[in-house]
Structure 1
Amino acid sequence: MQNFKNHTRFYPLHHFIITPLTLTLFIWSIVRLIQSFNSDFFGIALFHFLGALILLILPLLARIYALKNQDRIIRMEMRQRYFELTGKSLRALEDKLRLSQIIALRFASDEELIPLINNTLEKDLRAKEIKKLIKNWQADQRRV
């Protein structure tokens, strides 16, 4: 059962293997670059540093792309839910809601969603505050 306390997800391959390994390689390449500053191996060390930098950036970019795509999907899902519940477009309210608020609101049940949107607009609630107010948590097991 998903709720506020356990909704944060870690993807082990990304968070505990790829990221630490690429960070270790990047740090090691910096050390080697500094050690070889005045030697004949500086060019090779620089090449390794650039390779490590690229390898460090790649999983971060992949994660950013996935999260941006997920944000678009969440926005579309929330537009659809709001329309199904009210018969009105959410677009008029979207300018008044931050994306983080919309993302947090998706965890609310259908019964709670409209009152929670109104409460968020009135009090400018932060995402964490919104999540804490949800009583009937709608789990999202498919997030990135």
Structure 2
Amino acid sequence: MARESQRFENHTKMVPGFHYVGSALLVVLLVWALWRLVTDPSLDHGMMLLLVVFLALLGWYVRIFPLGVQDRVIRLEERLRMERVLPDELRPRIAEFTTSQLIALRFAPDDELPDLARRVLAGELHGRTEIKRAIRTWRADHERI
């Protein structure tokens, strides 16, 4: 099955079972546990609320920890790509890019990267969204989490 062409408008990844179903079930459990504790205070109902809070924290960290690793990998990949693609005068400045800027620049094709890198280093482009919107030809990343 062919993948949909990736661009700024559709590049975010949502996993329905995790983002919608799991989150909705967790909210229902939280409301139910709070209601049970308020209407019939007991150690069991307090423990149920603690369990739901634990599950919420677990769900948060299960998502955030892999994203942190992914950010580190992207940072390394983009620095290596910049060493190969950027002109000599920009290579010494690769360390000046923030992780957030490198994450946004990963969507730029090799031929657009030098100009975008110059603009980022000059302060013309700041955040991820602004950098991504400046990309003319999107370089898809279908492997991210």
TM-score range, shorter chain: 0.7 to 0.9
Q: Which residue of 2 is the match for residue 79 of structure 1?
A: 79
Q: Which residue of 1 is the match for residue 129 of structure 2?
A: 128
User: Distance between the aligned counterparts of 1:21 and 1:90, measured in 2?
Assistant: 49
Q: Which residue of 2 is the match for residue 138 of structure 1?
A: 139
- Following superposition, the deviation at residue 69 of structure 1 comes to 0.8
Amino acid at match of 1:9: K
Q: Confirm whether residue 6 of structure 1 aligns to residue 10 of structure 2.
A: yes
Q: Which runs of 5+ in 1 are unaligned?
A: none
Q: CA RMSD in A?
A: 1.9
Q: Confirm whether residue 21 of structure 1 aligns to residue 25 of structure 2.
A: yes
- Following superposition, the deviation at residue 2 of structure 1 comes to 0.5
Q: Which runs of 5+ in 2 are unaligned?
A: none
User: How many residues are paired up?
Assistant: 139
User: Distance between the aligned counterparts of 1:51 and 1:143, measured in 2?
Assistant: 30
Amino acid at match of 2:16: P
User: Distance between the aligned counterparts of 1:57 and 1:109, measured in 2?
Assistant: 37
User: Distance between the aligned counterparts of 2:97 and 2:35, measured in 1?
Assistant: 46
Note the alpha carbon deviations across 1:49-84, whole angstroms, 9 max, x for none.
111111111111010001101101100110111112
Q: Is the 8 A contact 2:79 2:94 kept in 1?
A: no
- Following superposition, the deviation at residue 87 of structure 1 comes to 7.7
Say which SS state the counterpart of residue 76 (structure 2) adopts: helix
- Following superposition, the deviation at residue 90 of structure 1 comes to 5.9
Residues 86, 133 of structure 1: CA spacing in aligned structure 2 closer, same or farther, 3 A cutoff?
closer
Residues 131, 54 of structure 1: CA spacing in aligned structure 2 closer, same or farther, 3 A cutoff?
same
Greater CA drift, 85-94 or 45-54: 85-94
Residues 75, 90 of structure 1: CA spacing in aligned structure 2 closer, same or farther, 3 A cutoff?
farther
Residues 91, 76 of structure 1: CA spacing in aligned structure 2 closer, same or farther, 3 A cutoff?
farther
User: Distance between the aligned counterparts of 1:73 and 1:106, measured in 2?
Assistant: 11
User: Distance between the aligned counterparts of 1:104 and 1:25, measured in 2?
Assistant: 36
User: Distance between the aligned counterparts of 1:25 and 1:84, measured in 2?
Assistant: 51
